[in-house]
Amino acid sequence: MSRVTEQYEAFPYPERDPADEATRLITGSPSHPLEIDHFLFGGTRDWSQPFRALVAGGGTGDALIQLAQVLTSAGKPYEITYLDLSTASRRIAEARAAARGLTGITFLTRSLLDAPKLGPFDYIDCCGVLHHLPDPQAGFDALAAALAPEGGMGLMVYAPFGRSGVYPLQEAFGTVLTGTARDRLRRAKAIFERIPEGHPFKRNAQLSDHRASDAGFYDLLLHSQDRPFRIGELLDTLDRAGLVMTGSPQAHLYDPLPILGDKGLLVGMDDRARMDVAEALRGTIRTHVLYAARSAEGRVAQAGPQAVPHLKGVTGPKLAQHAAKHGVIPVSHEGERFEIPVPALAVRALAQVDGRRTLDEIARAARTDWLAFAPIWAGVSKALTGHGILTYSRLLRG
């Protein structure tokens, strides 16, 4: 058994209790169907057709449960294949699905490198997995080969700068600690307490997984195979797999202009170089969350890194009016201010905000029309999505 499999057999990730399904649905990014519809299908997917999805390296099931539950609640047909090397993780994911009475899921204990034999899929979720493969490119290639021609994927892979401090500790623990996964965890936790407060890890306020659970501590600090990607490297890796980025819910983070303050400094740079500069200037991106497909053509309402449909504070009629008038929503994120373009169809919906009805009411009333509004909580872009995602998807249109 490889060290990676040994880890996830001992500490299924993330730590989840199937009993919690009775009280909460964990939602996040990527893989909320409304987000998928926006970034991969231009909001035009016909959800009466079965949605064939693969959750590759599904762990304890967050993306799987979100996908299956949202589609079940919306009364839409789907076939989901869950795949993971860890049997302990699979058991938890199965128990969570059973607790919700979700059907239409095939559970497999296999490597995602086998994905091409299982496809084709309309959608592949692969969150927090590809950076743990011995050869990540082989993983990207395998998933690309499992896609239906018009299909696409939602990916999350680690980014280096926002994880500052993680890699020196992984290296030190990996060098000195032996024994079972539990032995290593116990000793690492004791050593961690003696690490000086000035260590970059302890100064990195963005990292909290090690406090959340044993599985989180192990995943962050004791992983034996963990390779972060700069955004440019990730786009190159997608290129080699025959894929292109079709959008990202955190696209605003890849825009260097708010920090540079001078468009002139960007003259002559292509999108990729600009995104690398933005990542370096921000220094806080921990993960890249993006959608990818064979071609970006016809995918999103507005192409490019600024195609972001998420809105913050949309409960306020003033903000909605601002969006309707200017086509952008002003947001602040980690102390920076951004203007986020709103898809044209959403602008038209926002123009209907009258100060008497909440956006939820407008969305409910519009169910037979083109606007759907679904609350989405948590996920890496919570600061932007905390109040919801506004979409023109037909998923909830009945």
Ligand X SMILES: C[S@@+](CC[C@H](N)C(=O)[O-])C[C@H]1O[C@@H](n2cnc3c(N)ncnc32)[C@H](O)[C@@H]1O
Q: Are 358 and 319 in contact (CB under 8 A)?
A: no
Closer of 127 and 340 to ligand X (Cβ): 127
238, 275 in Cβ contact below 8 A?
Answer: no
The closest of 88, 74, 6 to 36, measured between CA atoms, is 74
Query: Beta-carbon neighbour count of residue 192 at 10 Å?
Result: 16
The minimum distance between CB 133 and ligand X, in angstroms, equals 6
Closer by beta carbon to ligand X, 57 or else 341: 57
> Residues in the site for ligand X, rule: CB under 6 A?
4, 8, 13-14, 57-59, 62-63, 83-86, 89, 111-113, 127-129, 132-133, 219
Q: How far is CA 271 from CA 56, 234, 246, 306, 359, in A?
A: 29, 13, 13, 11, 34
Residue nearest to ligand X (CB): 59
Write out 371-387 in H/E/C secondary structure.
CEEECCCCCCCHHHHCC
In sequence order, the 6+-apart residues with CB closer than 8 A to the CB of 294 are 144, 147, 149, 242, 243, 244
**In the complex, what is the shortest distance from the CB of residue 31 to ligand X, in angstroms, rounded to a whole number?**
9
- Which of residues 223 and 230 has its CB atom nearest to ligand X in the complex? 223
In whole angstroms, the minimum distance from the beta carbon of 78 to ligand X comes to: 18
Pair 34, 395: CB distance under 8 Å: yes
Q: Residue 222 Cβ, how far from ligand X at the closest point, in Å?
A: 12
Cβ-based nearer residue to ligand X, 2 or 180: 2
- Nearest distance from C-beta of residue 57 to ligand X, angstroms: 3
Q: CB of residue 395 vs ligand X: minimum separation in angstroms? A: 22
In the complex with ligand X, the residue whose CB is nearer, 60 or 255, is 60
Q: Which is nearer to ligand X, 57 or 228 (CB)?
A: 57
**Please, are residues 331 and 384 in contact by the beta-carbon 8 Å criterion?**
yes
Q: Tell me the closest approach of the beta carbon of residue 128 to ligand X, in angstroms.
A: 4
What's the min distance (Å) between Cβ of 223 and ligand X?
Answer: 8
Which H or E run contains 88?
helix 87-100
Reduce the DSSP state of residue 239 to 3 states and report it: helix
Considering beta carbons, is residue 113 or 366 the nearer one to ligand X? 113
Which tokens belong to 85? 């090397």
What does 309-358 look like in DSSP terms, one character per residue? -B-SSTTSHHHHHHHHHHSEEEEEETTEEEEEE--HHHHHHHTT--SSS-
Nearer to ligand X, 51 or 218 (CB): 218
**Closer residue to ligand X (CB): 85 or 390:** 85
What is the smallest separation between the CB atom of 227 and ligand X, expressed in angstroms? 12
Nearest to 37 by CA among 180, 152, 121: 152
Q: Taking Cα atoms as reference points, which of 311, 293, 295 lies closest to residue 249?
A: 311
